[in-house]
Copies of this chain bind each other. A is one copy, B any other.
């Protein structure tokens, strides 16, 4: 099955190439009767859009979403929500540097190999522009899940790592700095570092931490569709992601069981939370938290050598305005994908118990 849909019940299908007429999607399975705040959706899109600060790409894309269906008199109707974001910036451009050659660590080469040819304009379907559709759907999922609080933030840029446990951070800081780090002092250092990287025409990786609070007990569908397995897939489907860990993650490997086990309180909550809010693939009511690793963006504003379609070596030069570090703009995408998973699993969980 072509892989452009996500979710089982609360299901998003997206379409669109970077420089085509429009991107958009169909969100099917959103329950009826949910009040929709259109401004809140646009606000999420604005968190993702280019040009919002000095440390992201300076391209101009207003990214205004139009809804075509599924919302009536301010509420969802239970029918599919179709939407599109038109590309206002779709003039004919010079794509000669990418049309016939393959940018290193981009998808150009594999798309040509897999599909026989590709829409080479601005990365085509492999562009992260597609994630704007996810942000739209995720914003709707958030409105469905109004009890659950989802906060993502940048916890690492290059080697600069925020070591403070998330419980001690003030999430209200996140939107107060362009890096979207939850610590203002670290944010400031990260910002300076990213600016430096940009001057070099280079890029740098980062980590986003996401915390979901007030998740009800019982979400998750073992044995294959464990909650963290689906969250992991959701995160790994975002452009540039190289790793996912939840709870104790890769560091938990070093612990002994006697340290790692989360002892119960009498109300079923646990004294520690190495489990990351998920046991046996099912949410246990504690905070869900996880880390997502992003590689440095492959597009550099430097001259580089690569090959063309015929295997000839060619000299070329990165053009345009790209992100020196992808994580600040990826924060709303991580939240959106988290919301999509939680909305879907909330609906799945309605089908588990008992008679009608």
**Residues on the B chain within 8 Å of A126, using CB:** 222-223, 280-281
**Is B266 touching A223 in the complex (CB atoms < 8 A)?**
no
* Closest beta carbon of chain B to A119's beta carbon, Å: 4
CA distance A283 to B259 in the complex (A): 39
Instruction: List CB contacts (< 8 Å) of A283-309 with chain B.
Output: 283-284, 291, 293-300, 302, 304-307
**Residues on the B chain within 8 Å of A311, using CB:** 266-268
Number of interface residues of A (CB under 8 A): 159
Instruction: Answer whether residue A233 sits at the interface, using C-beta atoms and an 8 A cutoff.
Output: yes
**Residues on the B chain within 8 Å of A224, using CB:** 3-6, 233, 237
**Residues on the B chain within 8 Å of A159, using CB:** 254
CA distance A175 to B221 in the complex (A): 34
* Closest beta carbon of chain B to A32's beta carbon, Å: 4
**Is A355 touching B225 in the complex (CB atoms < 8 A)?**
no
Instruction: Answer whether residue A206 sits at the interface, using C-beta atoms and an 8 A cutoff.
Output: yes
**Is B229 touching A236 in the complex (CB atoms < 8 A)?**
yes
* Closest beta carbon of chain B to A255's beta carbon, Å: 6
**Is A352 touching B77 in the complex (CB atoms < 8 A)?**
no
A87 to B, closest residue via Cβ: B68
CA distance A117 to B72 in the complex (A): 10
Which one, B8, B216, B243, contacts A243 given CB within 8 A? B243
CA distance A158 to B255 in the complex (A): 6
**Is B197 touching A263 in the complex (CB atoms < 8 A)?**
no
**Residues on the B chain within 8 Å of A294, using CB:** 253
**Contacts A15-B79, A21-B67, A115-B352 hold; do A236 and B232 have CB atoms under 8 A apart?**
yes
**Residues on the B chain within 8 Å of A352, using CB:** 31-32, 78, 114-115
Stretch from A38-46, A47-55, A144-152, A164-172 contacting the other chain: A144-152
Which one, B25, B69, B107, contacts A20 given CB within 8 A? B69
**Is A1 touching B274 in the complex (CB atoms < 8 A)?**
no
Which one, B31, B266, B283, B349, contacts A355 given CB within 8 A? B31
CA distance A260 to B297 in the complex (A): 9
Which one, B31, B232, B291, contacts A354 given CB within 8 A? B31
**Is B28 touching A13 in the complex (CB atoms < 8 A)?**
yes
**Is A233 touching B229 in the complex (CB atoms < 8 A)?**
yes
* Closest beta carbon of chain B to A145's beta carbon, Å: 7
Instruction: Answer whether residue A228 sits at the interface, using C-beta atoms and an 8 A cutoff.
Output: yes
User: 5 A-B pairs, CB-CB below 8 angstroms?
Assistant: A15-B26, A26-B26, A205-B253, A258-B302, A260-B296
Known: A15-B70, A350-B350. 5 other contacts (CB 8 A): A2-B9, A32-B117, A32-B353, A260-B298, A261-B300
